[in-house]
Amino acid sequence: MFERLFTRIANKVAYASGTPLSFLLCCLVILVWAVTGPMFDFSDTWQLIINTGTTIVTFLMVFLIQNTQNRDSAAIQTKLDELIRVGDARNLLIGIEHLTESEVEDIRKKCEEAAKRNRKTRG
């Protein structure tokens, strides 16, 4: 239940944070903060407010964005795996995202070589 709620909230926040209105709102906050600087004699407290606020927002957004990207990547990978499974592609490519980077690179090179050989025989 918590996972479903978190996913819904993460999706909404990730979408909202990428809108022009959100960017404009952030610019407005910075502008208000900058304009109030002289009123507070550019004090340490005045600086601490923006530093603390941006740190908290950044900290939370990292987790929300990472969650959204992880789910998007998993969904795309699943769709690609299904296309490979039902198509003429080799099924051994399903699940290669769980291999090491060097293992994936070796497979990529083999695929490139096969594509080049294919072009030569067709061309």
pLDDT tens column, 3-26: 889 888 888 888 899 899 999 999
DSSP state of 70: H
Q: What percent of the chain has pLDDT over 70?
A: 98
Q: What is the pLDDT of residue 99?
A: 83
Please state the domain extents for the chain: 2-89
DSSP state of 20: H
> What are the backbone dihedrals phi and psi of residue 90, each rounded to the nearest 5 degrees, phi first?
-75, 130
How many other CB atoms sit within 10 Å of the CB of residue 112? Answer: 10
CA separation for the pair 10, 68 (Å, rounded):
7
Residue with tokens 């299904």: 82
Nearest residue to 72 (alpha-carbon basis) of 2, 18, 26: 18
Cα 36 to the chain's mean position, in Å? 34
pLDDT tens column, 36-79: 999 999 999 999 999 999 999 999 999 988 988 888 888 888 88
CA separation for the pair 85, 69 (Å, rounded):
24
